[in-house]
Structure 1
Amino acid sequence: MTTIGLIGSGNIGSTVARLAVDAGYDVVLSNSRGPETLADLVAQLGPHARAATAAEAAEAGDLVLVTVPLHAYRDVPVEPLVGKTVMDTNNYYPDRDGHVDALDRAETTTSSLLAEHLPQSHVVKVFNTIFFVALAQLGRASGADDRSTLPVFGDDAGAKAEVTAFLDAVGYDALDAGTLEESWRAENGRPVYVMPYASDGDVTTPAPGRADVVRDLLARADRDGDPQPAQPMPQG
């Protein structure tokens, strides 16, 4: 059975963990506060979940989700992730993370920073555009007319295929949106961020992002313009 390792178990991490368990995966969860603080979440998830340190979760995962605040990305363990596909959910929030000059100058992307930190891993940007409540609600069976599409970015075709298969298993279609260098198109404040997956901000009234809508919104992103702040934050 495939194991999903999670480095970070906040809103997005715990939601992905629930989706993964429901889809038949084992999950190994971690956070910055220690495995003992995850006891309640593990109990809710059942026998296919356990808590561990970040290094142990990285080691155990066949596929690993990194969902930590940007300012903590350098704390992600490197050696246990060598050769593995790493899903990155991060967004840049200067009020939370402090200013990063290279991001402010549009010289790199958040996922490129993680990829530089993990030079022997295959980083794929995913799950950063959708609010965690919507992520929990919008999963649909393969082929459903109202199935939502999430953009994925990465530099390795095999890694993107692995993430696409995982998305399919947990109820989502994937749109290959390009390389990590192009992932700025899906970052905080860009047109595809959050709102395509909600109706007037109300995720209890799903208006899921169709592939054609997601593709159009990605194409409309303007790197030279100032992105518009968007709330709510998909991760926390």
Structure 2
Amino acid sequence: MKIGILGTGHIGKTLVKRLSAAGHEVKVANSRGPETIDADVLSSGAKAVTTQEAVADVEVIILSIPLNRIPEIAPLIANTPEGTVVIDTSNYYPFRDDKIEAIEAGQTESLWVVEQLGRPIAKAWNAIGSASLANKAAPKGTQGRIALPVAANRDRDREVAMALVEDTGLDAFAAGTLAESWRQQPGAPAYCTDLTREEMGAALAAAERQRLPARRDLGVAVMQERLGDGTTNPDADWGVRLVRAINM
């Protein structure tokens, strides 16, 4: 497929490499210009372009940018064909995104994104840590392969997003509509806990909406305290163990 990816953070750059390696025609852009994109990101065949070029003549657009920057790119997305599948990978973190009043009041994050863009989306790759995405891909059928929830309202959006999740070495799990996608937001049992397909359904069902913000903020506070003390260097799975413990 022809895919445009906006964002070269930890999640975005892994998606660029994985989807290019899977045979897709990938264009990638960031806010600083194509000349700033590292050659390593392009090592599997992706092409660095401007943001305008990234969303032109593609079948899929993947947004891998901070949630508070979604309104900035909305005009770009508004000019794309209705049939283009838009996949959002973002999550809301108040310490980074500033407070978004609608989400603070309880609006599901992906529905807020839909409002900003004025078009349907699929939600995918938001519920995995960057280290797990980069290092834990596995061939289909591998025992213990990590599963990711995918939410969408339109069948094509869901089907395309799930197929691309599979192409990044993860099991895609149909998680329902965007209205239900709060179950894969930060603070939920399915979020960044590296579950298998067999475990994912129960984790989504166990989510308690009113508890998500407190659990999200607790995880952030612990991570900032531990990673910022200048003396410790937790391993890549430390964050997974922390989030699992918070959701016990």
Q: Secondary structure at the match of 1:228?
A: helix
Q: Which residue of 2 aligns with 1:128?
A: 126
Q: Secondary structure at the match of 1:224?
A: helix
What's the CA shift for 1:161? 0.6
Q: Which residue of 2 aligns with 1:80?
A: 80
Structure 1 residues 117 and 20: CA distance shift in structure 2, 3 A: same
Distance in 1 between residues matched to 2:111 and 2:58, nearest whole Å: 21
Distance in 2 between residues matched to 1:176 and 1:83, nearest whole Å: 20
| Count of aligned positions | 217
Q: Which residue of 2 aligns with 1:219?
A: 205
Q: Which residue of 2 aligns with 1:201?
A: none
Q: Which residue of 1 aligns with 2:196?
A: 210
Q: Which residue of 2 aligns with 1:115?
A: 114
What do the CA deviations read for 1:17-70 (whole angstroms, capped 9, x no partner)? Answer: 11112211121111111111115345x525x21111222111143211101111
Structure 1 residues 212 and 227: CA distance shift in structure 2, 3 A: farther
Q: Which residue of 1 aligns with 2:37?
A: 38
Q: Is the 8 A contact 2:125 2:165 kept in 1?
A: no
Q: Which residue of 1 aligns with 2:48?
A: 51
Please report the TM-score for the alignment, with normalisation by the length of structure 2: 0.81
Q: Is the 8 A contact 1:188 1:227 kept in 2?
A: no
Distance in 2 between residues matched to 1:65 and 1:213, nearest whole Å: 26
Residue 27 of structure 1 aligns to which amino acid in structure 2? V
Structure 1 residues 10 and 186: CA distance shift in structure 2, 3 A: same
Please report the TM-score for the alignment, with normalisation by the length of structure 1: 0.85
Q: Which residue of 1 aligns with 2:67?
A: 70
Residue 80 of structure 1 aligns to which amino acid in structure 2? T
Q: Give identity over the alignment, percent.
A: 32
Distance in 1 between residues matched to 2:55 and 2:18, nearest whole Å: 19
Question: Which segment drifts farther, 33-42 or 150-159?
Answer: 33-42
Distance in 2 between residues matched to 1:82 and 1:12, nearest whole Å: 26
What do the CA deviations read for 1:62-116 (whole angstroms, capped 9, x no partner)? Answer: 211101111110122121253211111110010111111111111x222112212
Q: Is the 8 A contact 1:9 1:30 kept in 2?
A: yes
Structure 1 residues 227 and 61: CA distance shift in structure 2, 3 A: farther
Structure 1 residues 81 and 112: CA distance shift in structure 2, 3 A: farther
Match status 1:3 vs 2:11? no
Q: Is the 8 A contact 1:129 1:193 kept in 2?
A: yes
Q: Is the 8 A contact 2:5 2:62 kept in 1?
A: yes
Bigger share in helix: 2
Pick 1 or 2: higher relative contact order, CA cutoff 8 A, min separation 6. 1
Q: Which has the larger radius of gyration?
A: 2
Q: Give 5+ residue unaligned stretches, structure 1.
A: 198-208
Match status 1:95 vs 2:95? yes
What do the CA deviations read for 1:171-220 (whole angstroms, capped 9, x no partner)? Answer: 111111111111111111111111x22xxxxxxxxxxx112312111111
Distance in 2 between residues matched to 1:170 and 1:101, nearest whole Å: 34
Q: Secondary structure at the match of 1:91?
A: coil
What do the CA deviations read for 1:154-177 (whole angstroms, capped 9, x no partner)? Answer: 111111011111122221111111
